[in-house]
């Protein structure tokens, strides 16, 4: 049962996009303000993420990869299970168990950088000096090289690339203050500068969601009783009805939640047309103590302490914003 619990605890290494997500979240946790991502062959051949965060101290470098070796992975003979499910909270160890991983980092107080490598279950224990500015680079090669069954579940390179791109777009929408770049097979595909003013933010939204979306939106920013809802909702002049243009963030985390979707949809349909899918990039800010964002391992669902209040606030705010601009 212990092992089963550990496995049920999370989902990490499913495909290149899930690797990228974990690695980028680590970078953001480390306070990075610039994230540069490079991928080859849909991420299967190479994923490299470089950040300018606080870095990892020499003594902690091996530890960041070694946890499976010391605790969980030795209990698990079936690497496929790790590849499929991973372990929540041990992303790097999980990833390194199914790839060739190189971790290079310079701690903000260190003289220079250090690097450590792992290949499948074998970890090179010595940490060797390296050249790297303050921050961290995680390089993942040959994902699933030792788990062929898992590898078979991957789609075409382009499809896997698309999922990586989606992860990056969602993060870029949630962190306007952070710069992002994405290189695919040697070509720079995206480069988003930090966006602090509303104009810069709108430029980024246009780059990510398309200029047609941006130019048909109404800007929302409403605050009441400790709740704030801001962002952009498209008017019916934007005719694409697509599920992937429904971006909702709660305290900076992308979520997909029934209560939220319902509130937005209801406001939209009340004021505008029936049967049309709303398109939006919306940000809800609430007291962190009143929301649980870890209901589900993939962290897309939330549980609000007072769901009714939140639903009501979203509905009313959008209703007002949309009604104000109705022709
Ligand atoms: P978790 O994030 O749940 O602690 P991970 O396996 O994702 O587990 O990361 C292990 C540890 O390695 C982190 O706790 C952090 O201390 C360190 N780490 C990983 N990536 C970075 C990074 N980009 N910058 C600084 N530290 C990092
Ligand atoms: Mg992590």
Q: What is the per-residue pLDDT across 80-124, written as a single tens digit (0 to 9) for each? A: 544 444 444 578 888 888 999 999 999 999 999 999 998 887 777
Are 187 and 295 members of one domain? no
- Show which of 192, 220, 250 is a domain's final residue: 192
Is 235 domain-assigned? yes
Residues 160 and 214 in one domain: no
215 in any annotated domain: yes
Same domain, 229 and 260: yes
Q: Is the CB of 133 under 6 A from ligand 1?
A: no
The pLDDT > 70 percentage for the chain reads 83
Task: Classify residue 234 as exposed, middle or buried by CB count within 10 Å of its CB (0-12, 13-18, 19+).
Answer: buried
Is residue 318 a contact partner of residue 227, using CB atoms and an 8 Å limit? no
Q: Are residues 301 and 180 in the same domain?
A: no
CA of 239 to the centre of ligand 2 (A): 38
Ligand 2 centroid – CA 209 distance (Å): 27
- 154-169 per-position pLDDT tens digit: 999 999 999 999 999 9
Between 38 and 71, where is the model more confident?
Answer: 38
Q: What is the DSSP letter of 197?
A: S
- Residues 230 and 181 both lie in one domain: no
pLDDT confidence of residue 68: 46
Q: CA 237, CA 194: separation in Å to the nearest integer?
A: 29
Residue 304 lies in a domain: yes
Pair (143, 241) in one structural domain = no
* Same domain, residue pair 172 and 266: no
**33 and 164 part of one domain:** yes
Q: What is the CATH number of the domain that holds 305?
A: 3.30.230.10
Structural domain contains residue 152: yes
Q: Which atom of ligand 1 is nearest to the CA of 95?
A: 6
Are the C-beta atoms of 36 and 49 separated by less than 8 Å? yes
Q: Which two tokens stand for residue 111?
A: 């003289």
Rounded CA gap, 186 and 284, in Å? 37
Phi, psi (rounded to 5 degrees) for 290: -105, 10
Which residue among 12, 24, 26, 133 is best mutated to probe the pocket of ligand 1, counting the most ligand atoms within 8 A of its Cβ? Answer: 26
CB atoms within 10 A of CB 190: 16
14 and 67 together in one domain? yes
- Going by CA atoms, what residue is nearest to atom 26 of ligand 1? 56
Q: Are strands 128-130 and 135-141 parallel, antiparallel or unpaired?
A: unpaired
Tell me which of 130, 160, 192 is where a domain ends.
192
Enclosing domain of residue 63:
2-192
Report if residue 256 sits inside a domain. Answer: yes
* 237 and 181, same domain (yes or no): no
Probe ligand 1: pick from 34, 60, 64, max atoms within 8 Å of CB?
A: 64
- Asked if pLDDT for residue 273 goes beyond 80, the answer is no
Can you give the C-alpha Rg of the chain in angstroms?
21
Residue 61 lies in a domain: yes
ipTM of the complex: 0.98
**Which of 162, 192, 222 is the endpoint of a domain?**
192
Q: Is residue 201 in a domain?
A: no
Residues 187 and 228 in one domain: no
Number of domains in the chain: 2
The CA distances from residue 212 to 217, 235, 245, in Å, are 9, 11, 12
Question: Where residue 183 falls among pLDDT bands split at 50, 70, 90?
Answer: very high
Write the pLDDT tens digit of every residue in 304-318.
999 999 999 999 999
197 in a domain, yes or no? no
Which pLDDT band, with edges at 50, 70 and 90, does 79 fall under? Answer: low
Contact in structure between 247 and 234 (CB atoms under 8 Å): no
- Residue closest to 184 by CA, chosen among 162, 215, 208: 162
pLDDT at 1: 29
Gap between the Cα atoms of 214 and 231, Å rounded: 11
pLDDT at position 242 over 80 = no
Cβ of 271 less than 6 Å from ligand 1: no
Residue 25 maps to which CATH number? 3.30.565.10
Residues 145 and 96 in one domain: yes
Q: How many other C-beta atoms are found inside a 10 Å radius of the C-beta of residue 211?
A: 11
- Ligand 2 centre to CA of 186 (Å) is 27
């Amino acid at each position: 049962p212990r092992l089963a619990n550990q496995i049920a605890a999370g989902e990490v290494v499913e495909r290149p996009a899930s690797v990228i997500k974990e690695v980028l979240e680590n970078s953001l946790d480390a306070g990075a303000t610039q994230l540069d991502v490079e991928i080859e062959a849909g991420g299967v051949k190479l994923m490299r993420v470089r950040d300018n965060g606080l870095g990892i101290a020499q003594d902690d470098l091996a530890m960041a990869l070694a946890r499976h070796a010391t605790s969980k992975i030795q209990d698990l003979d079936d690497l496929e299970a790790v590849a499929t499910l991973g372990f929540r909270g041990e992303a790097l160890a999980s990833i390194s168990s199914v790839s060739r991983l190189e971790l290079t980092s310079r701690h903000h107080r260190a003289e220079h950088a250090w690097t450590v490598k792992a290949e499948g279950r074998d970890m090179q224990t010595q940490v060797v000096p390296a050249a790297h500015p303050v921050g961290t680079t995680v390089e993942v090669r040959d994902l699933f090289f030792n788990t062929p069954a898992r590898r078979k579940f991957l789609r075409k390179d382009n499809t896997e690339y698309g999922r990586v791109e989606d992860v990056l777009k969602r993060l870029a929408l949630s962190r306007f203050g952070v710069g992002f770049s994405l290189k695919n097979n040697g070509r720079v595909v995206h480069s988003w500068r930090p966006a602090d003013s509303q104009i810069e933010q709108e430029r980024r939204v246009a780059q990510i969601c398309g200029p047609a979306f941006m130019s048909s939106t109404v800007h929302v920013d409403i605050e009441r009783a400790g709740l704030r809802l801001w962002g952009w909702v498209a008017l019916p002049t934007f005719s694409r009805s697509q599920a992937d243009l429904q971006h909702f963030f709660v305290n900076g985390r992308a979520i997909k939640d029934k209560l939220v979707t319902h509130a937005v949809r209801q406001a939209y349909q009340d004021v505008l047309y029936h049967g049309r899918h709303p398109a939006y990039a919306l940000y809800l800010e609430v007291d962190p103590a009143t929301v649980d964002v870890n209901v589900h391992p993939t962290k897309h669902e939330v549980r609000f302490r007072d769901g009714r209040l939140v639903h009501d606030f979203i509905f009313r705010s959008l209703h007002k914003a949309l009604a104000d601009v109705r022709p």
